[in-house]
Chains A and B, each alone.
Chain A
């Protein structure tokens, strides 16, 4: 190696290469993440209809937002949906994962079937479920009629508009199920063997081994589940157009309407920021509470 002091040392060259390699990610971060967040914050203090230049209006958008009954309605709908669908989805996907973790013949076929709905999403699935929940000719009300009852007026009665969307979300829990399954397979079997020798029954094993060992995965699924649920859009747009009487007016649907139907970009940005702060608050609460219930194996073995 050259002993003379050169500016282009090996580590500097490596750093240069490093930045070149990271360029797409750094530019993406600036143009499609950090930049837009800043811009969104700015627009939320303006009145902007795209055609004219943005006009600074201070806190007006936020003040209007808090007096807007549709905003509160959309928040209520989104909250109810999230609070019901997320815990329900987490429980169902965990139960399915436990079932699929059994070492029995043909399990691979079942795993394939159970994950299938997760590869589809969006318009086609929403259309299918809208038809399934058709109050007069749909599959669900036919099944209910077989039991001798009359099915509810799905999507027509206000109180029966949100439940089908929640039920439909359960059909697609394959993603979090797979994450649970990966977590289950990472639990060392010697823990169960030791518990068995100590005479712990299945229920005790579940509560004292499976749940704690799985808690980082539950944590992950909870966070991604909440972020996803608070941003539901396609279902409301395709299945109900937010109706009846705004019973399925999800926040992002209301945001979309303000931005792209009414061209109120400033107002929509304020709405987006409120939604962002709500998601941030949820995430922070879960993060802060995590030492109480999330168990990291690294702590047990003093460092990874």
Chain B
């Protein structure tokens, strides 16, 4: 907090013997100390994961642990891939993520435009109901939605994991609606005068202008779908249709690989890598995106 301007005019008592600038410097150092300690707590598990993934099988079970494996077993990553079809699982995950992304971005921005700009009787009521469903635990709808997809014969296909994304998600619709409401009406009015239809306005003005929020939604959707476990667990039974997250859970459970922690950690690191890379690429948009959703009040 920048309060320098005030500092000069103020006469409040200063804490025992320290001048104001000294106590401020002390508090800055203390902050750094806490920040560094916190960073260590957050990063050590990753280091542990990486270290284990590069060890010889026998070296995993040495106590106290050695942090830097000698020699580095880069080969573990290849071995994890040959014991288990992670390539295929990655392909399955990518297919699902791509269709979920397209569906989410289309359905949410399309609906959000209706909720933000077009007057229709009952619109606000529908929007309130939609927002209320954010509080609905997915556990309640899980069984009936499964039975529904089972009736359609879609169990053991990717469809139950993809189709719901094409029907909007309350939180993302809310986010996009907030964003659309900040776009000036003048742009739409002039397009309308030029003969542009409502759908044209959505496609040619609203969507291109809302790139930041679309990217944010896309990143969140990617992370959520990539990491999703319960959906694939319920719907996918065929071994060859498993997603990466689901495959990983079986990798842990399979008899031949249960004790092979070095391979398990290699596979886990591989599974989280796309999320980490995406996060570092998009972190600015990420943090800003969260801020303008305006959870306050």
Q: Chain B residues near A32: list those with CB within 8 A.
A: 141, 145, 164, 167
Output the nearest chain B residue to A32 by Cβ-Cβ distance. Answer: B164
CA–CA, A37 and B139, complex, Å? 10
CA–CA, A273 and B108, complex, Å? 28
CA–CA, A206 and B124, complex, Å? 37
Give chain B's interface secondary structure class: helix
From B42, B228, B290, A179 is in contact (CB under 8 Å) with B290
From B65, B126, B140, A29 is in contact (CB under 8 Å) with B126
State whether B38 touches A28 (Cβ < 8 A).
Answer: no
Tell me if A45 counts as interface (CB < 8 A to partner B): no
Knowing A21-B114, A103-B1, A111-B287 are in contact, say whether A40-B144 is a contact too (CB < 8 A). Answer: yes
- From 208 to 242 in chain B, residues with beta carbon under 8 angstroms from any chain A beta carbon are 223, 227-230, 233-234
> How many of chain B's residues have a CB under 8 angstroms from any CB in A?
102
State whether B140 touches A37 (Cβ < 8 A).
Answer: yes
Tell me if B153 counts as interface (CB < 8 A to partner A): no
State whether B265 touches A193 (Cβ < 8 A).
Answer: no
Selecting from B68-76, B78-86, B130-138, the interface stretch reads B130-138
Tell me if B48 counts as interface (CB < 8 A to partner A): yes
From A186, A197, A297, B6 is in contact (CB under 8 Å) with A197
Tell me if A211 counts as interface (CB < 8 A to partner B): no
Give chain A's interface secondary structure class: helix
State whether B248 touches A25 (Cβ < 8 A).
Answer: no
Output the nearest chain A residue to B41 by Cβ-Cβ distance. Answer: A171
From B34, B63, B139, B229, A122 is in contact (CB under 8 Å) with B229
CA–CA, A177 and B12, complex, Å? 32
Output the nearest chain B residue to A272 by Cβ-Cβ distance. Answer: B140
Q: Chain B residues near A132: list those with CB within 8 A.
A: 45, 48
User: Which residues of chain B have a CB within 8 Å of any CB of chain A?
Assistant: 1-3, 5-6, 9-10, 12, 28, 31-32, 34-35, 38-39, 41-45, 48-49, 52, 60-65, 106-108, 110-111, 113-115, 118-121, 123, 126, 129-130, 133, 135-148, 150, 164, 166-169, 173, 198-199, 202, 223, 227-230, 233-234, 245-246, 248-249, 252, 261, 264-265, 268-269, 271-272, 275-276, 278-280, 283, 286-287, 290-291, 295-297
Since A34-B129, A43-B147, A131-B265 are in contact, a sample of 12 more A-B pairs with Cβ atoms closer than 8 Å, ordered by chain A residue number, is A18-B120, A22-B111, A29-B126, A33-B141, A36-B148, A103-B1, A114-B42, A131-B48, A171-B45, A189-B3, A255-B143, A259-B142
7 residue pairs A–B, Cβ–Cβ below 8 Å: A21-B115, A31-B167, A99-B34, A122-B229, A197-B9, A233-B230, A238-B252
